[in-house]
Amino acid sequence: MTDPVATLPALLAHRAAAHGDRTALVTGRERLDFASWQARSGAYASALRSAGLRPGDRVVLHHGTSRWTEFAVAFLAVLRAGGVAVPLSDRSAPAATEYVLADAEARFVLHGGPDLPAGIPPGTTVLTESDAEGHPSVPDLPDGLGGPGDLAQILYTSGTTGTPKAVGARHANLAHGCTLDERRRPLRHSSAFLHAFPVGTNAGQTMLVNALNAHATCVTAPQFTPARFLRLLSEHDAGSVFLVPAMAIELLASPALADATASGALDSVRLVGSTAAALPQPVALGLGLAFPKAQIVNYYTSTEAAPAQITLLFDPARPTSPGRPASLADLRVTTPEGLPVPAGRPGELWLRSPAAPRAYMGETDGEVFQGRWVRMGDLGRIDEDGFLHLLDRERDVVKSGAHKVSTLQVENALHSHPQVRDAAAVGVPHPVLGSVVAAVVVSDAGLTAAALRIFLLDHLAVHELPATVLFRDALPRNEAGKVLKRDLRRLLAQDHPEATL
């Protein structure tokens, strides 16, 4: 049994005392060891208290991916000072940034440079780590340090289909699964793990907790490009790699991958983890070929559900499934009324949180949070062998005439075409059928809608075929790599006669 940790500041204090000179986090040329993390966050926490921070005050942290070490220091400083951290990526759209700044009602903004976000409300105190110079590094702040049941963090959902929603997490939620036992630290199979997730996302926050808790050093890519990512993988001999599907798609299409494969740089990788969105089946198979010694893992969770998570080990012999959970105890499939469905039948997916569950700020939402169970907003089924099959997001299912069409299935078929580099499917209005499928595709030069239709006839039923195909240079995605389907519908609503099949 693991030795539990009540809060992330308690974990940092333990690791700084146990092996302070060990590197916890690397971003570019910046390295942060545990002792420095403890000292710098302590000084920053002292500066926050001197500036007037009160226990429970919301503090927005505006940092870019090139400043992950500064963000890590700022995040722990807020928690140690007794505040509530509100991470915000500098990649967020201006409108989203202004919304979060106003909605969070933050009294402080911790800024990582070089540019301040627009829309900071009047009266908000703006600090940088340089403002902590001269402040003593406080080992702890008993009067401000939040307890396990106190609010610690507010994350905003991706807002891919509407307004982002604020999700609150308590200290016990963030620290769940962390340990003081050095023998039980995760990611012990290598000296480093690599990711390129932005701050302000649930995936990014998971990597921050990993940096605190894992045996391996966290290496962050300042910005994802396949060549840089592969170079960092080789330089740090990373044994674990974490991606979102958009990164995996770009990586597999890059000429740099062939060079890395030839040099043997990928042989050190034992784990490739994908999160944040469904990994298309052809992409999962491609990752397995690119990283022949690695296990491909799909992590199924959400901002609302964390730390609830299902780890799915991808089996190339069963490519229609993202994998089989080690245990089904914390996953259930139900009818819309909440009744369990038998194996093989589709239904709504729920995850059970092992810790204090999260909640929408200022709301009581019985449709999403029911005790420790969290409704995922996905449709799926578990087959007789225990493999999970994701059918679609509930809101993305296309009701076309008498049929219900899974956009995930259409996207898997599109990704199977050798000239398709990226693709997404959505439902669009139709005067007779109600809705039909439309697709936005990124492809090599020369692919036509007619040729793509002929290919899809062997992979999809007639009612699943996209009625419209729009070719673009890239898909609109948010900073977390998720496709903005509302933007796709806006594109498709325009007059594109040449895209109609």
d(CA 183, CA 179): 9
- Looking at residue 138, its pLDDT comes to 64
3-state helix, strand, coil in the chain (%, to 5): 30, 25, 40
Confidence of residue 94 (pLDDT cuts 50, 70, 90): confident
Lowest average pLDDT, out of 113-122, 199-208, 372-381, goes to 113-122
Residue 321 has pLDDT above 90, yes or no: yes
Exposed e or buried b for every residue in 43-60, given b needs 16+ CB within 10 A?
bbbbbbbeeebebebbbb
- Looking at residue 159, its pLDDT comes to 63
d(CA 194, CA 219): 5
Max Cα-Cα span within the chain: 71
- 179-191 pLDDT tens trace: 999 999 999 888 9
Residue 155 has pLDDT above 90, yes or no: yes
- Looking at residue 146, its pLDDT comes to 74
What are the E-state strand segments in 196-352? 217-220, 240-243, 271-274, 295-300, 310-313, 324-325, 331-334, 347-352
- Looking at residue 144, its pLDDT comes to 47
d(CA 13, CA 15): 6
d(CA 333, CA 347): 5
Distance from the Cα of residue 239 to its chain's centroid: 20
- 69-90 pLDDT tens trace: 999 999 999 999 999 999 998 7
- 451-463 pLDDT tens trace: 999 999 999 999 9
- Comparison of pLDDT for 365 and 161, the residue scoring more: 365
d(CA 251, CA 232): 13
- 474-484 pLDDT tens trace: 999 888 888 99
- 322-352 pLDDT tens trace: 999 988 899 999 999 889 999 899 999 999 9
Is there a contact between 308 and 352 (Cβ–Cβ < 8 Å)? yes
Burial class (CB in 10 A: 0-12, 13-18, 19+), 336: exposed
- What are the residue ranges of CATH 3.30.300.30 in the chain? 397-499
Select the CATH number that applies to the domain covering 8-21+30-175 from these four: 3.30.70.20, 3.40.50.300, 3.40.50.980, 3.40.50.2000: 3.40.50.980
Homologous superfamily (CATH) of 397-499 is: ANL, C-terminal domain (3.30.300.30)
Task: Provide mean pLDDT across the span 32-52.
Answer: 95
Mean of per-residue pLDDT scores for the chain: 90
- Looking at residue 499, its pLDDT comes to 41
State the number of CA atoms in the 13 A half-sphere of 406 facing the CB.
18
d(CA 464, CA 454): 13
Would you give the DSSP letter of residue 265? G
d(CA 77, CA 87): 13
Distance from the Cα of residue 62 to its chain's centroid: 18
- The set of residues, in sequence order, having a beta carbon less than 8 Å from that of 410 and lying 6+ positions away, is 425, 437, 439, 460, 464, 466
User: ω before 114 within 30° of 0 (cis)?
Assistant: yes
Is there a contact between 196 and 219 (Cβ–Cβ < 8 Å)? no
Task: Provide mean pLDDT across the span 371-379.
Answer: 93
Per DSSP bridges, beta strands 58-63 and 108-111 are parallel
Task: Provide mean pLDDT across the span 370-399.
Answer: 93
Confidence of residue 1 (pLDDT cuts 50, 70, 90): very low
State the number of CA atoms in the 13 A half-sphere of 240 facing the CB.
23
Task: Provide mean pLDDT across the span 231-241.
Answer: 95
- What are the residue ranges of CATH 3.40.50.980 in the chain? 8-21+30-175
Token pair, residue 104, equals 């969070």
Gyration radius of the chain's alpha carbons: 23
Residue 501 has pLDDT above 60, yes or no: no
User: ω before 431 within 30° of 0 (cis)?
Assistant: no
Q: Return the closest-CA partner of residue 273 out of 178, 378, 197.
A: 197
